[in-house]
């Protein structure tokens, strides 16, 4: 059965840009993990394209880090 949750499925651009936005905003992986209620390893997996970020979380990340969603997913 397929998941109905929309994800940024292995988006090459998202991984680099999540990390870049986090660093530019001055947060460590551990700090961002605390804010989002996930483990630091989850943040690392998002940034290394091991786990795809669901769309809702991506939108929250954008809001928190001060970037637009298209920044994460467009070339």
State pLDDT tens for residues 47-67: 888 888 888 888 999 999 999
Measuring CA to CA, how many Å separate 50 from each of 9, 14, 45, 53, 68?
A: 10, 12, 5, 10, 22
Output the average pLDDT for the chain: 84
pLDDT at 7 over 80: no
What CATH class does 10-73 carry? mainly alpha
pLDDT at 3 over 70: no
Q: Is the pTM of this model over 0.85?
A: no
> How many helices, marked H, and strands, marked E, lie in the chain?
5, 2
For residue 47, give every residue at least 6 positions away whose Cβ sits within 8 Å of its Cβ, in sequence order, or none.
Answer: 15, 16, 18, 19, 22, 29
The residue that leads in pLDDT, 40 or 15, is: 40
pLDDT of residue 33: 97
């Amino acid at each position: 059965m397929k998941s109905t949750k929309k994800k940024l499925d292995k988006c090459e651009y998202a991984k680099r840009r999540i990390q870049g936005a986090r660093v530019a905003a001055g947060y460590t992986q551990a700090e961002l993990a605390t804010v989002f209620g996930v483990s630091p390893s989850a943040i690392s997996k998002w940034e290394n394209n091991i786990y795809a970020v669901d769309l809702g979380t991506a939108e929250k990340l954008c809001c928190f880090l001060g970037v637009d969603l298209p920044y994460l997913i467009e070339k």
